[in-house]
Structure 1
Amino acid sequence: MIPNSSRKRQRPPPPHHHASAIVEAFPHRTISESSQKLPRTSFSFNDPSTADVILRFFIDRSPFDSSNPSDSARHSDLQIYLHSRVISRAKYFSTLLSDRWQHQANNHNAGHDSRTIANCNNMFHLNLGVHDDPTVHLTVLQLLYTYDFPTVIASASTALEILPVALELLFEDCVKACVKFLEAVPWSEEEEKRVLSLIPLLREEESKELLARVSPGEDDFCEEMLHGLIEKAMYSQLNMAFVKVFVAKLLRDFSSRESARRVLERAFDANLRIVKESLEQYSSPDFRGDHNETEAIQRLHLHTAMTNGRHLLWLVERMIELKVADSAVKQWSEQAAFTVDLQKAFRDDAWRNIVPGLPAVMLRCTCKLASAVAAGTILSSRQEFAE
């Protein structure tokens, strides 16, 4: 509660630590140094002449903590002079300074606790327990005065130091600034672990983007599952027709058209690459080995091209059915080298005895894509399929 302005304010007793003494206590902390450069508000941080709140830090250590006791003694009597109007921007202090909380605290005489509050001589006396060096707490308190988040939060490590304290004090604007900064910058492996440890402390809407960076999204799992089913449909040796019908229905009913597009394009690219490589190797054979061995390899190339050509045809049909064949049309119309290899292969009569259906499969792919473009099912540029 802010004291009534009509009452005469009594000057507080001399502080144990003046502002300069506070900075001297942490000479090697860059956070404190940067905070001194921030613009000031109408109230000055740690100004005993205008303050109405005295905040005392004490080290709240476990009895099993083996840290140096001299450090605790050095920080156990650190007092900061603050202003209730300013620190009420943090919900923790706003609640602590409310009439209801003061009444409960005075009735229970809380003693040395972070919630201790007393009002004497128009001054609020608060105790705040910290587990270690209170430098970061001082920085967050200064941010309550300056709101100059971009100046202070300049690295992921700084944001990760400030965020837990901002969450502790319920300083929402500072929390948002830290989260936005972390969303926009890269993290080291150690920083990623710290982000993971802080995500449970954030609200769902605050942690959504951070969580998406450290764990695979639901769409990724669905796409991997769908891609696996498509591969199963194409490479299954048993009941291939049944599996293809099942996967085709699954693709039609899939909730995300964009996910289906990405999965089909991925499979189309892979199979087109195999067909092109097989025909390229068939059209430019290596005759340095045994003749029978070379002939067997040539047969293998043609069979590979035929098998994956059938897969391509099935994928083209699925893409046209879902109206996501735009990329396939563009790729298919830009295969000049592939066309040359096909022509070379078809000039050789060997394919007639090995894979007689190969030309028909390639032509069906072309015809289906061209028909879809002509029917307006797929949008394409004027030059595509012109040849």
Structure 2
Amino acid sequence: MTAGPSKKRQRVQQSASTSRHSSVIPTIDCSSLPDKSSTEVSKKPLNLRRNSSFSSIAAFNDASTADILLRLYLEVTPFDSSDSEFITSSDVQIYLHSHVLRRSKYFSALLSDRWQPQKDDDSSPLRLGFGVPAAHGSMDSHLAVLELLYVDDMTEAIDSAKTALDLLPVALKFLFEDCVKSCVRFLEAVPWTDEEEKRVMNLIPFLQEEESRELLSRVSPGRNDSCEEMLQGLILAAIHNYPNMAFVKAFVAKLLKDFSSKESAKRVLKRAFETSLKVVKESLEEYSSPNFRGDHNETEAIQRLNLHTAMTNAKHLSWLVERMIELRVADVAVVEWSEQASFTADLQRAFRDDAWRGIVPGFPSVLLRCTSKLANAVAAGTILATKQVRKKLVKHWLPVLLVSKDHSPLLSSNKNLCMELEETFLRIISTLPLSDAQELLQQCLSFTRNVDDCPHLFKGFNTWFRRAMHPPQPEKL
């Protein structure tokens, strides 16, 4: 996007000697201009302080001292449907001074001995014509840039991004370096609207590399992975730095949902999921390790810390699983969750011990909630898991559910969660081959509470028996 010195300013300078860009080719005319074809500029001058070396000698549009009479006229293209009388009446003529115009490299080249014609009357101003694009505000922008030739400090005139963007294309056309630098410096320092940003990007190719560097840095990432790094930082901040601030998590969740690259979001969430799961597993492993079992205060403090760490990161896992399911990228989480044979064995051992109840009573519920969310997505077809993944998901996490029900009386408040997970496991079992379903269904007998309170279990067994007793006949298929 960037360009070196051989960009628009050089091309515009070349146009003074060629006919390729008619919009910037002046016409030099030593004869009188018809009064009806142009009018002296009646535009209100910019409210600028004239404390410059230029304005102390000459004033903008001062006919008494000017040696240049510049006619600005709206250009008509073959496709222009504008009224020709309006275009002619819009022409203006301005009295200018050659020593001021030379601040513009364009006019400096134009007024050099090579291009300046010999005049019969040296007392009359040199007459020049300059074509202005027939666009809204174009004439005003050209007049404003010409007036800025007469001042050193342009900060009063360039007071908004819109003004800078209106003046910059004209300053580039005139090769008016001081004005270009002032416009660019202003644009570097102020915010842009979306529309202004588009205009800035359209002008970047016409700026020199050193001029466009700061503008480009605002919209160009330093590295290819900067978006993922930003997402990673937001997720870590939401789950670690603001544990009790639900609105922060909701804000990050919306950013993830609206993020344009699904694959980037998937990679970021996968890394965060794996990190939190690793912490939960390591904390529980340290809690279950015989090396840390004892009655002294230090051991008890370590045990409490391990359980609290596991509980905190389990909550992070639950939030991450929700985001992954919401974005339909939870397939990697399901595969990882189904491979936790060692972790679920540690959970069963821990939940059979009464020590955890007074420290993190809600720990089983958090893990079962994660399992329920992933299992529901599998059963609903939101996540298309393979047969092996479906089987291992139920095989490894079904015992955790059963142990939690038997050894955690506090789970009575989560009866609906348990029943929902039971039903979901039965639905997944129904998708497995009959031999696998037979093995897993027998472990589901613990789902029974009373005969009238487990219709989902009756349905699971009846479905299996119906299929086993009435298999499809090959000749009838």
TM-score by length of 2: 0.41
TM-score by length of 1: 0.50
